[in-house]
Chains A and B, each alone.
Chain A
Amino acid sequence: MTNLLATPSSWPRVLLPATDGGDPTDLDSAIRTGAFEALKTAVRAMTPSQVVTAVAGSGLRGRGGAGFPSGTKWRAAASAPEARRYVVANGYGADPAVQTDRTLLERAPFAVIEGMALAAYAIDARQGFIAVRSDAEAAIRTLEAAISAAEETGLIGPDAVETGWPVRIEIRPVQGAYMLGEETVLLKALEGKRGQPEQRPPHPAEQGLFGRPTLVHNVQTLAAVPWIVNHGAEAYAAIGSKASPGTILVQLRGPGGAGIAEVPIGTKLRDLVDLVHARGRGSEPERPIKAVLVGGPSGGFLPPDLLDTPYEYDALRAVDAHIGSGSIVVADDQACIVDLARLLTRFCADQACGKTIPCRIGTRRLSEIVDRMAAGTPRPGDAALALDLASDIVGSALCDHERLATLPTTSAMRYFRPELDDHLLRSTCPAGVCHPIAVALAGRA
């Protein structure tokens, strides 16, 4: 099981239970600590549109990476004219290095189930699917046990909360491609099709699974909903940053450790990095931070002097990084940024679905250019070409994947120009990681 990092006690907790231990699928003890309280209140005493208003008023934004305001999505799904609607919980966790979503499913399955039931109530859906990675066996087992416990008690099922309102929740294991994390691709996989994104609009909230209005949310987004109904929208809006309130799970990785932490959005990057960058911990002399990679395989590299940036959707996008998969990787001076950029760009190009030109060819050409830079064999004008190509990809992309796949390259060029120039102009790698060809030939080191 993954390591939960100790966080300052002043940081609020919404998603993960405050105390560890106990069986997360034990419904009785969960109910004693308030599980399904919100669902009962909502179904008995609130109209669906009151629930939507509460979510909109809380300022909750999607935790899947893009940070779309959830209230807007719920309104669209609720008002789409269709008899049948679906709720899909995206627990896929596309980034191989990130375990946050499956950890949430393992530790707080009832919060996700209750959030889904609330969403279903709010948009008048009767069927929910939780998409999980097939290899997340522990999460699947926990969910199965939790769903059947909730069904036996009549909290969900054909007669949920004894009101005659039916809601069914099913687990759908999926596997086989990074792109399955993207919402339209995930819906394709649930339909049994090839996973390629769809043009939006129509958004899934209007036309999603099997052509019906579908509310797709990250599991963390859904798990926050019961808390919002219980404590009120204002209480949630008061946590974290004003523009995007609430907490989020991040996966940190640094020289001083690695693990998952629940953090208020808007916390300074420096405070997050401190959780894993051993400050006086251990006996190893500390190496200086060279860069922080924020956002997973398609993330951006930020230099140490940008560590005061708040961990928040818009602030990060402004500096060429993004929340993405919730991954924060601290690279010290052993790592070479060009080498890392090359690895990430290659991964993104390999995972691109192939549907459109920027995706199929754009990302691949970009990866080839970065390869040449790392190898110290650039062609004249490669640096300008990379930026030009990146802006073309961003401008013409069908889905966010290829748009974001340019970030490793553009952020490396924006903040780490001296290191890049060493590769490009002098054919040396300051970190001694890449072996630019000219070094080997000329015998310089």
Chain B
Amino acid sequence: MSFVPGLGLVRGMALTLRRFFEPKVTNLYPEVPASIPPKFRGRLQLLYDEYGTLKCETCFQCAQACPVECIDMGGVDTKGRYAIHWGPPETYGERREESALRRAGRTVPDPVYEHFHGIDLHAVDEILEGFDHDPKELLGILAAIQAEYGYVPVAALKRVSQSTGAWYAMLYGTATYYDHLAVGAPAAAPGRADEAYLGALDGALSGRGARPDAADDAPAGER
């Protein structure tokens, strides 16, 4: 705090004046790479498309590729299924509108995250024991967990990751990829894609139209 009235203003203007006479710098990136201090860690920033929605698809490929596993994310994946609990805010701060809540210090409603706490993992441990904690048997392990709980709880994924040594991002990507596994919360009927397609094909061929079965869902892009 300053006791001299106007000192702050003078200081500010002095900075402006100094910058005004400094040589102008244009980085010729990428021809000339910028010099980056060795401890610089950058900040992940996601891009928005022309409609103002985030381009990130929560596909987890960057998380799987990241060697130090610093990327985590939450949101809805391309198939409209709920994805994951939120990762540490500093990694993907700009992910979804809800993260604004988090930055404001308010709680983010997150059904999946709640499952993360109150779940009994004894069954998962037994399943892991049965598969000898072998990361090559992940699909068998995940199918057994799905059969046991009716879905694949996030907490179970974490446990499988710890005990088999498989990367969590890898596991998460695998579990959400397969239709017969419902991650995070019980799905009404996982793996219905085939029947929906057959029903719609029947409809289309018999003149009833491909609706209302599978094709009636909003197109993926409008979700």
Contacts and interface: CB of A to CB of B under 8 A. Distances in A.
Interface of A: 96-97, 134, 174-178, 189, 191-196, 253, 297, 329, 331, 334-336, 339-340, 342-343, 346-347, 349-351, 353-355, 360, 364-365, 367-368, 371, 431-434
Contacts of B57: 354, 360
A350 B215 contact: no
Which of B79, B137, B200 has the largest count of A CB atoms less than 10 A from its CB? B200
Given A346-B219, A431-B207, A433-B209, A177 B214 contact: no
Which of B173, B180, B205 has the largest count of A CB atoms less than 10 A from its CB? B205
Contact of B177 (A195, A342, A343, A364): A195
A354 B78 contact: yes
B112 interface: no
B220 interface: yes
Contact of B139 (A192, A346, A349, A434): A192
Nearest to A133: B194
Contact of A360 (B78, B180, B208): B78
Contact of B219 (A191, A340, A353, A371): A371
Given A192-B135, A334-B206, 6 more contacts: A96-B193, A176-B181, A331-B204, A346-B214, A346-B215, A367-B220
4 pairs of A and B residues whose beta carbons are closest in the complex: A334-B207, A176-B178, A96-B194, A192-B138
Which of B135, B177, B206 has the largest count of A CB atoms less than 10 A from its CB? B177
A361 B192 CA distance: 23
A253 B202 CA distance: 11
Contact of A194 (B173, B198, B215, B221): B173
B197 A340 contact: no
B137 A192 contact: yes
Contact of A335 (B205, B219, B221, B222): B205
B210 interface: yes
B201 interface: yes
B177 A177 contact: yes
B169 to A, nearest CB: 10
A434 B204 CA distance: 10
Contact of A193 (B78, B174, B191, B205): B174
27 contacts: A96-B195, A96-B197, A134-B180, A177-B178, A191-B136, A192-B135, A192-B137, A192-B174, A297-B197, A336-B204, A336-B209, A339-B210, A340-B205, A342-B210, A343-B215, A346-B214, A346-B215, A347-B214, A350-B220, A353-B177, A364-B220, A368-B219, A368-B221, A371-B219, A432-B207, A433-B208, A434-B209
Interface in B103-154: 135-140
B63 to A, nearest CB: 12
Nearest to A356: B61
